[in-house]
């Protein structure tokens, strides 16, 4: 019995160890190394022996990151883009989740299906489709010109606006699903009670519905914010040369400078930045689980 329990607990820990801790330690080790013209392109490696290895590691690359304003500007700009697009995803996602939760029972599985459906197509293809929609000869511009709203095509593709559109579109389901789950569980008689006690519909929404879906909102925001912060594909395909995001900087360190140690240092700092929201998210999930138990 005890054995079985220990085994059960060991599974998630083993998972964490193999898929998170070990890769992280490898990246961390590379971030303390020096660039070299060799295979692999850094030194020292484990071939040099453990003692030699440890004596050669240092924090030089982290010092370097602090010396150039490119890096902190890229972190800041990524934080800003991630925060703003999370907020916009919430603005778009909440009404959709609300509508789903208030829809007749028999429609809900279909609506749920429609939210999940885009996942059946490759993420990359969907981002490419947005390139076709947003380009200056694209669908959106042609439609707006046909309506006569604009005379000249708008430049949307290769700007930050396109990046926001891409992130909001891609991560929308991650916002909708937890909010929907929270709203779906809500007892509707609470709204009736609020109205009986003199609340208007809007007041009931803000005083009852929103607080009760708080956990869904928090979960959705984290699920969007965390991956958006390190996003690489969306800014590189939809963004312009002026779009500064840490994912792109990381790519350049790795591929253009072939400086794996500095690239790893950038990644380690990104992870440290992400640990704060991840821990907050975990704590929120735990509190919620306790409250329900």
Partner 1 sequence: MNYRLMSSVAAATLMATTAVAEEVRVYNWSDYIDESLLDQFEQETGIDLVYDVFDSNEVLETKMLAGGSGYDVVVPSGTFLQRQISAGAFQKLDQSKLPNRENLWDVIEDRVSKYDPNNEYAINYMWGTTGIGVNINKVKEVLGEDAPVGSLSLIFDPANMEKLSECGVHFLDAPVEMIPAALAYLGEDPDSQDVDTIEKAEPVLAAVAPYVQKFHSSEYINALANGDICVAFGWSGDILQARDRAAEADNGVEIEYYAPKEGALMWFDNMAIPVDAPNPEGAHKFLNFIMDAQNMAKASNYVYYANGNKASQEFLEEDVIGDPAIYPDEATLENLYTTSPYDPKLQRVVTRMWTKVKSGT
Residues that bind partner 1 (CB under 8 A): 35, 37-41, 68-70, 73-74, 136-137, 158, 232, 240-244, 249, 251-252, 254-259
Looking at beta carbons only, is 209 or 243 nearer to partner 1?
A: 243
Tell the smallest beta-carbon distance from residue 199 to partner 1 (Å). Answer: 50
- What does the alpha-carbon distance between residue 173 and residue 124 come to, in Å, rounded to a whole number? 16
Round to whole Å and give the CA distance between 54 and 24. 17
Q: Rounded to whole angstroms, how far apart are CA atoms 245 and 137?
A: 27
Which DSSP string corresponds to 67-79?
Answer: H-HHHHHHHHHHH
Output the smallest distance, CB 200 to partner 1, in A: 49
Which of residues 224 and 244 has its CB atom nearest to partner 1 in the complex? 244
Minimum separation from the CB atom of position 225 to partner 1 (A): 20
Tell me which H or E stretch contains 42.
strand 42-43
**Beta strand segments in the chain, E:** 34-35, 42-43
- Least separation in angstroms between CB 17 and partner 1: 20
Handedness of CA 204, 208, 214, 217 (dihedral sign): negative
Six token digits for residue 180? 């929907």
Cβ distance to partner 1 smaller for residue 218 or 248: 248
Q: Which is nearer to partner 1, 73 or 201 (CB)?
A: 73
Min CB(261)–partner 1 separation in Å: 11
Contact indicator for 239, 35 with CB cutoff of 8 Å: no
> Which one, 216 or 247, has the nearer CB to partner 1?
247
Task: Select from 92, 15, 90, 83 the least CA-distant residue to 226.
Answer: 83
Considering the complex, state which of residue 74 and residue 204 has its C-beta at the smaller distance from partner 1. 74
Contact 220, 174 (CB under 8 A): yes
CB of 122 or CB of 202, closer to partner 1: 122
CB of 254 to partner 1, least distance (A): 7
Write out the two tokens for 96.
């959709």
Tell me how far, at minimum, the Cβ of 232 lies from partner 1, in Å.
7
In this structure, how many other beta carbons lie within 10 angstroms of the beta carbon of residue 142? Answer: 13
User: What are the phi and psi torsion angles at 61 (to 5°)?
Assistant: -65, -35
């Amino acid at each position: 019995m005890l054995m079985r329990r220990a085994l059960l607990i060991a599974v998630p820990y083993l998972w964490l160890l193999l898929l998170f801790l070990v890769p992280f330690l490898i990246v961390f080790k590379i971030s303390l190394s020096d660039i070299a013209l060799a295979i692999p392109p850094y030194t020292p490696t484990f071939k040099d022996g453990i003692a030699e290895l440890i004596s050669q590691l240092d924090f030089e690359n982290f010092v370097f990151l602090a010396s150039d304003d490119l890096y902190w500007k890229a972190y800041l700009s990524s934080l800003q883009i991630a925060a703003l697009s999370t907020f916009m995803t919430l603005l778009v996602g909440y009404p959709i989740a609300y509508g789903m939760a208030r829809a007749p029972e028999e429609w809900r599985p279909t609506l749920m299906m429609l939210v999940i459906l885009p996942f059946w197509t490759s993420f990359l293809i969907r981002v490419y489709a947005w390139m076709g929609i947003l380009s200056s000869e694209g669908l959106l511009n042609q439609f707006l010109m046909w309506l006569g709203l604009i005379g000249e095509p708008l430049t949307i593709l290769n700007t930050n606006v396109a990046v926001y559109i891409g992130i909001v579109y891609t991560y929308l389901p991650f916002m909708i699903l937890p909010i929907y789950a929270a709203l779906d569980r809500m007892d509707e008689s609470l709204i009736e009670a609020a109205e009986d006690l003199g609340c208007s519909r809007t007041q009931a929404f803000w005083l009852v519905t929103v607080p009760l879906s708080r956990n869904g909102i928090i979960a959705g925001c984290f699920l969007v914010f965390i991956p958006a912060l390190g996003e690489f594909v969306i800014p590189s395909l939809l963004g312009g040369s002026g779009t500064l995001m840490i994912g792109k900087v990381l790519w350049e360190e790795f591929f253009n400078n072939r400086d794996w140690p500095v690239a790893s240092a950038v990644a380690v700092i990104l992870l440290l930045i992400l640990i704060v929201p991840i821990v907050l998210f975990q704590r929120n999930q735990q509190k919620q689980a306790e409250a329900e138990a």
